[in-house]
Chain A
Amino acid sequence: MNIGKFILRRLSLQIFVLLGLTMFTFILMFGLPGDPAALLFSAGGIAAGMDEYHAFRAKWGLDLPMWKQYLNFVGNLIRGDMGTSLVTRAPIIDNLKAYFPATIELAFVSFIFATVMGIPLGIISALKRNSWIDHIIRAVSLFGVSMPIFWLAIIMLIIFYYYLGIVPSSQRIDLEMEIPKQITGFYLIDTVITGYWDGFFNSIYHLILPSFILGFSVVGLLARVTRASILEVITQDYVRTARSKGLQEKTVIGRHVMRNALIPTVTILGLLVGGLLSGAVLTETIFAWPGVGRFAVQSIMLLDRLAVVDITILIGVSFSTANMIVDIVVAFLDPRIRY
């Protein structure tokens, strides 16, 4: 099977995955006790408008049985309508367009940071096995994996923002600066398109601490997986053969060891995308990052069922796409894998 057919097959399977995902999330959301209309109306004295309450339920289809609501939702989704948020009263697609780019930007920079830091640290750790460098890297990795994001983020803010004043506190851009005109929603892209260079550099400045915090846990995991993988490969016969035929050490490591050792690392990278997207919820809250994570939390708290299902779909699509890309990369790295 060639790569084109593989991608097509994966995409077609993705439809079933998404259908399953919507159904599962829908059932879970309906499994939660309560009535979103009652919750919304409680804020202003529900009983003052019982007629209004019932009209609201009818208007939003909340009085329909679950299966009907689900079929309505899927039917609308096929037509490209993701529904309307009970809370913001706006099409959910508009909310997602506003919030998702911020999450993706943060997760992407964290991913780059994690990859650039995690893999080299794993390699150094493996090559300097049992040395003091190895011990330090392993300790730092363990620290990264074990520290809760919210705790680490606040400690880092206290040190680097409050005492040292070398990083900004929160948000995507300084309070004094103009927010870039929204074209794609990605500040790093929008500022370049509009030539707003101060905004571009300021956005990078604002990404430093949140992306470090979000990526740090992943750095530890990547370093540990890479180290273990290299240590396994480095003792293989073909590596000894490569050395015995007189190849330079950097060629042995770079061409023979790394190519094989990186397969588990690359595979895990796909899974880490999910971790970064879910970890972004906490990071976004602490750094006042206007991403989809906060929208998700608010939607869950207010039982905005459609919004929760839509967010789940979006994250599901991102996750499965990342893993599809990983599968393709693995095929290039490992000639034994053929699709």
Chain B
Amino acid sequence: MKNLKFVTKLFLFTSVLSFMIACSTTETVEVIKEVPVEKVVEKVVEKEVIKEVIKEVAPAPTYAKSINVRDVFFFTEGFTPPRGGSFFEHRISQQIYEGLTALNTPMVTRGDSAVPVPNLAESWEISGGGTTYTFQIRDGVKFTTGNPLTGQAVVDSLKRSIHVIELDKATARFSWVTDIVSIDATGDMEVTMVLKNSFAPLLAILASKQFLIVDAAELKKHEEEGDWGAAWGATNSVGTAAYQIDSWVAEQRLTLKRNKDYWGGHDGVGPGADQLVFSNIPENATAELMISKGEVDVALQMDPISLKTLDLQPKVYTFSYPSLITCNFLIDRRNEHAANDEIFKAIHMAIDYDGLLSVVAMGLGSVHQSLILPGMLGHDPAISNQWKYEPEKAKAIIAEQGYPDGFSIKLQSRAGACGSVVYTKGIEFLQASLKKAGINAEIVQSTGSKFWGQIIDGTLKDMGISGLGATYFDPDNPASVRATSECFLLGIEEHNPTVAAKLKDLVAQGRAETDNDKRHTIYRELNEIMVANCGEMTVLQVADTVALRTNITDGIAMPHGFSLDFRYLRKAE
């Protein structure tokens, strides 16, 4: 009996000991797992004994072939440049087409200054005082159609983009194209573009959607009514990028497959998955359940509340990156109150920027009060963060200007959102914010079309809200769109003709100047004038946030701020 007890105790002791050893071995294995593969190899050389163990526990990572992505489809004119204006179309175009230049993705994600880097153009030379650009085209690149990328193919692609822009009567939006004197293949792999005037934003524009390189010869085969294949290209891809369209079913699914002949990209990163399946899941609650359960791996376009909920899920994480979208409050400078410069200043002081960011935008973004964004030449934090919420000071200024009891104003509320800021919530918050400064704001319901119609007609009497984005990552974009257009529609010319003339002059100078340091100074000045005078008051820079399963790594945003760069995504199996 005693023996039996002893044997039992011995058995239990041995079992516990074995278990502990086993556990300690596992711990070691787990530690080794976290060591990068190269270091593990070094250890193998040092200690022959653990060689086999390491080999077993640290196999080369394997990645899933397919990544499921939740998106909200908004299809207008399709994916092939220069057409397609929705964020969704931009997002997809950037996965299937490439430009002559590119913006360094990780650099822009960090918010550093972005300078165009070589992409399909291996190098370039600017001569003739900024009027002649000579590009050396990268050798060995193929379109997904099998045709090689040559100087002539690039020329055809650029000419096709201009052709379609003219066909769509969209030249006003790309006014610089009328300055093009010639685009010629000056060698097998060389393209020369001559412009009438120096045009510094060109390199950034060549990285933007409208001038991404397409196989124009293939598109020509599908021409209908002189559209150079624009209609066919809406749902077909003929690019050189990491992915190509495999299938498209409207409102349901878009499948992109790996381009087998992909040349590797300007940063040497090839696609991590063989296919990307984009599904149209409009309802956030449904998408939230799908990513929580693992049916989708990446969820784009989630609302802030869903993102906060998903942050609590153990197998999901969220990732934010600055977008090119800003939220803005608009007021016409011809408005009886806004026409007074002091009251205009007081209105700036009557906006609770931090509250708006934390309460309405749920922290997804940053306070930003100017048109030029971080990473662009001309950006200066001292200008972009100059206004503070000082309701008492604002109240005093308003009283000094002859309104001791404050004044009344109407706020137009409407459907829509700029990033995580739902317009109705933004307007309600503004109303409460203004109230503390003695401005009695009444909310009136409106529509986007009414609001913009009034801006165009110059009849906007009320204050409103809008979200605006940029189409290329250069200060010329916000400068040309806002400084010389929206600012003018909001009455700057009638309010202060000197400032209006100065703005126009600075935009022209910024375009012509090729020296980056000088451009920085020009845009800094322009930005300062805009913030002080323009009726479009930028309040926030919105962040794009995506939700990802924890087995998805390397989420890196694209520099245009519309999406992740899907080449980087890896899904561990």
Contact = CB atoms under 8 A, between A and B. Distances in A.
Interface stretch (A45-53, A237-245, A320-328): A45-53
Contact of B293 (A48, A56, A162): A162
A56 B169 contact: yes
B169 A290 contact: no
A88 B76 contact: yes
Contact of B485 (A34, A45, A95, A154): A45
A193 interface: no
B298 to A, nearest CB: 13
A286 B247 contact: no
A73 interface: no
Contacts of A172: 252
A55 B482 CA distance: 21
A42 B450 CA distance: 11
A172 B281 CA distance: 12
A36 B451 CA distance: 11
A157 B279 CA distance: 18
Nearest to A47: B485
Contacts of B283: 285-288
Contacts of B77: 89
B453 A34 contact: yes
Interface residues of B, number: 54
Contacts of B455: 38, 46
Interface string A11-27: 00000000000000000
A38 B85 contact: no
A198 interface: no
B228 interface: no
A207 to B, nearest CB: 15
A288 B286 contact: yes
B325 to A, nearest CB: 11
Contacts of A53: 456
Interface in B261-299: 277, 279-283, 285-286, 289-290, 292-293, 295-296
Given A46-B455, A50-B456, A161 B173 contact: no
Contacts of A89: 76-77
A122 B279 CA distance: 40
A52 B293 contact: no
B450 A179 contact: no
Contacts of B301: none
Interface residues of A, number: 51
A142 interface: no
A171 interface: yes
Given A34-B447, A44-B85, A47-B481, A175 B68 contact: yes
A34 B75 CA distance: 22
Contacts of B296: 175
A59 B169 CA distance: 10
A119 B369 CA distance: 63
Nearest to A162: B289
Given A52-B172, A287-B286, A290-B280, A38 B453 contact: yes
A288 B282 contact: yes
Given A169-B289, A170-B290, A34 B449 contact: yes
Contacts of A35: 449-450, 452-453, 456
Contact of A33 (B252, B449, B471): B449
B452 A290 contact: no
A43 to B, nearest CB: 6
Interface string A275-296: 0000000000111101000110
A88 B279 contact: no
Contacts of A298: 74
B488 interface: yes
Contacts of B250: 95, 98-99, 290
Contact of B170 (A49, A50, A162, A285): A49
B293 A42 contact: no
Interface centre among B251, B468, B481 (most CB of A within 10 A): B251
Contact of A161 (B249, B293, B450, B466): B293
Nearest to A45: B481
A42 B279 contact: no
9 contacts: A34-B451, A35-B449, A38-B448, A38-B456, A47-B485, A161-B293, A288-B282, A290-B251, A290-B252
Interface of A: 32-36, 38-39, 41-53, 55-56, 59, 87-89, 95, 98-99, 154, 157-158, 161-162, 165, 169-172, 175, 179, 285-288, 290, 294-295, 298, 301, 303
Given A286-B286, A303-B447, 19 more contacts: A33-B453, A35-B450, A35-B453, A35-B456, A38-B449, A39-B447, A42-B452, A42-B466, A45-B468, A47-B489, A49-B172, A49-B173, A52-B169, A89-B76, A99-B251, A169-B293, A169-B295, A290-B249, A290-B280
Shortest 7 CB-CB distances between A and B: which pairs? A34-B449, A47-B485, A49-B172, A45-B481, A290-B251, A38-B452, A34-B450
